[in-house]
Amino acid sequence: MFKYLNPLIYFILALIFFAVASMGRAETGNQKTLSPYFFIENGDPSVDRFPLKKTHVNVTITGVIADVVVTQKYANHGTRPITARYIFPASTRAAIHGMKMKIGEHMICAKVKERNIAQKEFNTAKKQGKSASLLKQQRPNVFSMNVANIMPKDIIEIELHYTELLVPTDGTYEFIYPTVVGPRYSKQSEADSAETDNWVKNPYLRESDEDRTEFDMDLTISTGIALQELVCPSHKTEILWENKSVARILMATSEKSGGNRDFIVNYRLAGKTIESGLMLYSGEDENFFLLMVQPPKRVKPADIPPREYIFVVDISGSMNGFPLNTAKKLLKNLIENLKESDKFNVVLFAGGSRVMAPASVPASGKNIHRATRLIDGQKGGGGTELSLALKKALSLPADEAYSRTILIITDGYIAAEKDVFHLIQQNLNRTNVFSFGIGSSVNRYLIEGMARAGHGEPFVVTQPREAHGAAQRFRNYVQSPVLTHIAVTYDGFETYDMEPPVIPDLFAQRPVMVFGKWRGNPQGTIELTGVGGSGDYLRTVNVSKIKPLEVNSALRYLWARTRIGRLSDFNFKDDTHAQITSLGLTYNLLTANTSFVAVHEVVRNPEAQSQDVHQPLPLPLHVSNLAVGGAVSKVPEPGLCTMIVIALMILILALGHKKYLCSRV
């Protein structure tokens, strides 16, 4: 019937086809964006596309220190040699200080070297046909493992060893083992991207696809004090009690897909106390200490000054479904509980952003209803331009009579974290920042880093039922600081290289922590002073009563990791790179500038020909395909949008007129 259509309609149809095709076409050449993509099985049985078969995690928590050993098992079930790359996460506080590679009966201990040198050694071994492994840090919570020349029928095990300090909040300790890296939004050109950003381009399985990598966890807690509460809210587990202070947590046999969300364990000690005091370690060349002091009880002030809250909410593609629905629930809870003396505003962002009002409005019933209607109408889609949205929020007119607080609600799936940190630090004189991570496997580096940069507190909501509790914790948090004007003095105890150099006001009900080094004999006293809700606060620790213990050897790694974190995230001086490199080499730590490399000095692949395989990752639980589709799709230019709308209007008018109708058949 189309042969009867007017030529004008042919033109319009062609215009629409061209416009739509332009919107969906991937960018090419230098304009191609660095983005994740969906894995497509090519059906070649000679290449094993899923060489990582299993990840086993063994955790021992003693006191406040977690010792973690991660074993990755790689096997080649194909008929051709392969070189595998695998992207995986870890805690933002993890101090990775050891790696081993096992091939058959051969165990090779990896060495830490400058990043470029380690990469060259790995490349040389690969070209020579030797099996080798290379561990690199891409972000403080994102790592890449490369294993070269995995021969057919090979089984290669990589063992990683790291240490982490557990810091309680409100008397609750939390251990988190992230299992999967969520897809990151990036608008960088692939051709111009830095080597440290190339990991963003990684294959992902679709949300309906089954993960082909096994995940297993074996965790033991030994606290020395009776455990009052021990739960794993994230996975099905079995808890075996040795006694009241020692318990073992194993994955339940029914838990078949545990590798698509953070593994979380929460526990409390009897009486809701926390382990505080002084820990000492005496090393061959240096001595280290950790001071942990429990803060005073919070006293709520009778008169809380008026506040302005700006809610910056992620409605991008990765937030579609569960994350956005949970964010809506959280946001409505926060807004509906504002005081009438407060003001607020809402900034929604994806590829672009929009503001509810040109200036913050009073928290009246009418305005709260207006905000909840706006929030309820969001569905999720597009990119994740957090920096632009944050700039818009910071540029809103400020009322000097109000204390401004920005709350950022997101899953954190962006690649440009440091740009956000820098932006927040530049505006500390105007506001403080709190972050809410929504999802089963959020980007904790971004969520925690934004809060640290903004002198706020991070909150993570992994399930809808947690939204109410997170909102309540936030309200309790911002009411008043627990301890201000904090100072630590040392009398007769020679100390140096303290971390942090300056202790900020303490808002959360968590201990004051100070790492440092000491010389001479462990003697004298340490005094921590401050101002609490009920007046002056003083805590004195007698150093001579504390004995250095070998079991505290992890303090050297934790001190170095703390300093590296401060330098890498918030220090922009010219010598920062050299300082981080020196710390990594001195303390045998994985950093942005140092990597672990292991080479099996046997030529196992004489032809030195292998197929590069990038292990596909599962999407985190409750994250939809739009997280990958949204990352690569591009919003058309305004001119193109206008052209499409005009074309559609003309077509409708044309088809509605008898002159251009086709004859009835």
Q: Please provide the DSSP assignment of 642-655 as one string.
A: HHHHHHHHHHHHHH
Q: What is the CATH number of the domain that holds 218?
A: 2.60.40
Cα angle 132, 133, 135 (rounded to 5 degrees) comes to 155
Residues 6+ positions from 651 with CB-CB distance below 8 Å: 9, 12, 13, 16
Instruction: Indicate if 159 and 63 belong to the same structural domain.
Output: yes
For 475-527, the pLDDT digits (tens) are 877 777 788 888 999 999 999 999 988 887 787 788 899 999 999 999 999 99
Number of domains composing the chain: 4
Instruction: Indicate if 76 and 183 belong to the same structural domain.
Output: yes
Walk across the sheet containing 52-62 and list its strands: 106-109, 95-103, 155-165, 65-75, 52-62, 214-222, 246-251, 237-243
User: Does some domain include residue 227?
Assistant: yes
pLDDT (0 to 100) of residue 31: 62
The whole-number average pLDDT for the span 57-81 is 96
Reduced to 3 DSSP states, what percent helix, strand and coil does the chain have, rounded to the nearest 5?
30, 35, 35
pLDDT (0 to 100) of residue 595: 98
pTM comes to: 0.83
Residues 6+ positions from 422 with CB-CB distance below 8 Å: 572
Strands 525-532 and 483-491: antiparallel
Cα–Cα distance measured from residue 88 to residue 181, given in angstroms and rounded to the nearest whole number: 6
Instruction: Indicate if 90 and 212 belong to the same structural domain.
Output: yes
User: Does some domain include residue 648?
Assistant: yes
User: Does some domain include residue 352?
Assistant: yes
Tokens standing for 285? Answer: 């060349």
Domain boundary among 476, 491, 522: 476
Query: In terms of Cα–Cα distance, which of 294, 170, 275 is closest to 225?
Result: 275
Phi and psi (nearest 5°) for 26? Answer: -70, 145
Read off the pLDDT band of 472 (50, 70, 90).
confident
User: CA distances (Å), 580 to each of 11, 556, 570, 575, in order?
Assistant: 61, 15, 13, 9
Instruction: Indicate if 205 and 72 belong to the same structural domain.
Output: yes
Cα–Cα distance measured from residue 9 to residue 647, given in angstroms and rounded to the nearest whole number: 9
Domain boundary among 444, 460, 476: 476
Least confident of 106-120, 287-301, 386-400: 287-301
Instruction: Indicate if 342 and 257 belong to the same structural domain.
Output: no
User: CA distances (Å), 180 to each of 55, 354, 444, in order?
Assistant: 11, 31, 12
Instruction: Indicate if 26 and 85 belong to the same structural domain.
Output: no
Strand locations in 189-235, DSSP E?
203-204, 214-222, 227-231
Cα–Cα distance measured from residue 98 to residue 89, given in angstroms and rounded to the nearest whole number: 16
**100 contacts 158 by C-beta, under 8 angstroms:** yes
Cα–Cα distance measured from residue 583 to residue 590, given in angstroms and rounded to the nearest whole number: 10
Q: What is the CATH number of the domain that holds 311?
A: 3.40.50.410
User: Does some domain include residue 378?
Assistant: yes
For 304-362, the pLDDT digits (tens) are 567 899 999 999 999 998 899 999 989 999 999 888 889 999 999 998 899 999 999 99
Three-state SS string over 236-297 comes to CEEEEEEECCEEEEEECCCCCCHHHCCEEEEEEEHHHCCCCEEEEEECCCCEEEEEEECCCC
For 223-273, the pLDDT digits (tens) are 988 999 999 999 999 999 999 999 999 999 999 889 999 999 999 998 767
Average pLDDT, the chain: 87
Phi-psi region of 478 (alpha: psi -120 to 50; beta: other; left: phi over 0): alpha
pLDDT (0 to 100) of residue 191: 83
Instruction: Indicate if 374 and 247 belong to the same structural domain.
Output: no
Cα–Cα distance measured from residue 278 to residue 290, given in angstroms and rounded to the nearest whole number: 6
% of the chain exceeding 90 in pLDDT: 61
pLDDT (0 to 100) of residue 67: 97
Instruction: Indicate if 99 and 11 belong to the same structural domain.
Output: no
**526 contacts 513 by C-beta, under 8 angstroms:** no
Residues 6+ positions from 53 with CB-CB distance below 8 Å: 73, 74, 75, 213, 214
For 612-641, the pLDDT digits (tens) are 999 999 999 999 999 996 544 333 334 444
Cα–Cα distance measured from residue 450 to residue 422, given in angstroms and rounded to the nearest whole number: 9
pLDDT (0 to 100) of residue 306: 78
The whole-number average pLDDT for the span 531-537 is 81
User: Does some domain include residue 61?
Assistant: yes
Cα–Cα distance measured from residue 487 to residue 412, given in angstroms and rounded to the nearest whole number: 34
Query: In terms of Cα–Cα distance, which of 478, 479, 390 is closest to 427?
Result: 390
Cα–Cα distance measured from residue 140 to residue 138, given in angstroms and rounded to the nearest whole number: 7
Residues 6+ positions from 181 with CB-CB distance below 8 Å: 87, 88, 89, 142, 202, 441, 617
Instruction: Indicate if 43 and 146 belong to the same structural domain.
Output: yes
Length of the chain: 665
User: Does some domain include residue 21?
Assistant: yes
Query: In terms of Cα–Cα distance, which of 83, 184, 187 is closest to 125?
Result: 83
Domain boundary among 552, 574, 600: 552
Residues 6+ positions from 211 with CB-CB distance below 8 Å: 205, 257, 259, 260, 618
Query: In terms of Cα–Cα distance, which of 247, 244, 248, 250 is closest to 228?
Result: 244
Instruction: Indicate if 353 and 492 belong to the same structural domain.
Output: no
pLDDT at residue 12 tops 80 = no
The whole-number average pLDDT for the span 562-587 is 87
Instruction: Indicate if 386 and 471 belong to the same structural domain.
Output: yes
User: Does some domain include residue 8?
Assistant: yes
Residue 340 domain boundaries: 307-476
Read off the pLDDT band of 52 (50, 70, 90).
very high
For 181-223, the pLDDT digits (tens) are 999 988 888 888 888 899 999 999 999 899 999 999 999 999 9
Read off the pLDDT band of 434 (50, 70, 90).
very high
Cα–Cα distance measured from residue 173 to residue 602, given in angstroms and rounded to the nearest whole number: 46
Instruction: Indicate if 87 and 208 belong to the same structural domain.
Output: yes
pLDDT at residue 23 tops 50 = no
**353 contacts 298 by C-beta, under 8 angstroms:** no
**245 contacts 222 by C-beta, under 8 angstroms:** yes
Least confident of 506-520, 574-588, 640-654: 640-654
For 83-99, the pLDDT digits (tens) are 999 999 999 999 999 99
**515 contacts 287 by C-beta, under 8 angstroms:** no
Cα–Cα distance measured from residue 134 to residue 108, given in angstroms and rounded to the nearest whole number: 12
pLDDT (0 to 100) of residue 655: 53
Strand locations in 401-534, DSSP E?
403-410, 432-438, 458-461, 483-491, 494-499, 512-519, 525-532
Phi and psi (nearest 5°) for 80? Answer: -120, 145
Query: In terms of Cα–Cα distance, which of 371, 369, 370 is closest to 347?
Result: 371
Tokens standing for 583? Answer: 């710390």
For 352-371, the pLDDT digits (tens) are 899 999 999 999 999 999 99
User: Does some domain include residue 640?
Assistant: yes
